[in-house]
Amino acid sequence: MTETAKPFLQVLSGQALDTPPVWLMRQAGRYLSEYREVRAKAENFVQFCLSPDLATEVTLQPIRRFGFDASILFADILLIPIALGRKVWFVTGEGPKLEPFDPLNFESLLEGRSTEVLGNVGETVRRVSASLPDHVTMIGFAGSPWTVATYMVEGGGSKDRFKTRVSAWEHPEAFDAFMDRIADATIDYLEMQYQAGAECLKLFDSWAEGLPRPLFERVIIRPTKRIVDGLRARGVDCPVIGFPRGASTLYPFYAEATGITGMALDTGVDPAWMRSQLPEGFPVQGHLDPSALRAGGTALDSEVRRLRAAWSGHPHIFNLGHGITPDVPVSHVEQLLHLIRDGDV
């Protein structure tokens, strides 16, 4: 089967399909009993991500169960800090933890180790790619530099990323160099995934919200463009999806300035406004509220129909506006797929 016969890639080439392709962020996860069984075999979450046997299995699980149109690599956005020489660990109930890092010490970050330290991720991509049905697209991904930087500076998750923002304003030259280190490691990492069989790459900027335009341009636009340009310079010609979650009115600026192929949208985006702001035929992905999926029933019916109608005639990949939550019943995912593939718009 040729690439153009894959619905996911058809949309990213600018085609509007009557039935949009569908996959879900975090589609391999705790809402699946088979995932929980495999997760129990790993010593810790980092080891889980870096085990080709385990990561391949959980990447394929939602494809086997639901027949999604795309399969995304099972990994984590915080593998890049490990390649840069930083310690990362996960605490149950609290999430990721890192030793807080001072961006002024960016020169201490190790270079050129992404493909060496994270080589098992490439092996997972190879195995998954070889096992997917013909119509399913393989997606590789990485965390975008700003989001990765916030975890490194804050030492974990943060409500407002205040320490990181202060550092970016106080020491712009050093902070931008810090971002470049992360971006260059990300280029290496994504190129490795592409060479291993990824047919699309996605950049997750989970903490893009709340930034004034000058800072957004420096820490979101500039490093994203650096990554896209760097990939293209190395012959990586597959589509790249960007996800600047929470970017609000800066979404169109992001689409125009970064060189991405398509853009994922969060739940707060108004489709009519976004369509009026984007170039004709610019592919988008999203953006069902994960809580509507959790609710199921008539609420889910209504929201799916609303988004289907809003993006009718436009290149659109159906997805969530953020990741699926662990408490979502499998039956609600089945309901979602029935609505998209068999229901009336």
Helix (H, G, I), strand (E, B) or coil at 280: coil
Q: How far apart are CA 25 and CA 21, in angstroms?
A: 13
Is 189 considered catalytic here? no
Is 151 considered catalytic here? yes
Amino acid at 291: S
> Which of 31, 35, 76, 194 is flagged as catalytic?
76
Number of neighbouring beta carbons within 10 Å of residue 130: 10
The answer to whether the CB of 9 falls within 8 A of the CB of 199 is yes
Is 39 considered catalytic here? yes
Q: Which two tokens stand for residue 213?
A: 């335009």
> Which of 151, 189, 194, 254 is flagged as catalytic?
151
The answer to whether the CB of 3 falls within 8 A of the CB of 9 is yes
The answer to whether the CB of 265 falls within 8 A of the CB of 274 is yes
Q: CA angle, 26 as apex, 25 and 28 as ends, to 5°?
A: 130
Q: Which two tokens stand for residue 24?
A: 């879900």
Sign of CA dihedral 293, 135, 236, 54: positive
Cis peptide before 322 (omega within 30 of 0): no
Torsions phi, psi for 113 (to 5 deg): -115, 5
Q: How far apart are CA 287 and CA 268, in angstroms?
A: 8
Q: Which two tokens stand for residue 209?
A: 């919200």
Is 86 considered catalytic here? no
In angstroms, the Cα distances linking 60 to 68, 70, 74, 230, 243 are 10, 10, 9, 30, 23
Q: Which residue has the tokens 């890049």?
A: 80
Is 26 considered catalytic here? yes
**Catalytic center residues:** 26, 30, 39, 76, 151
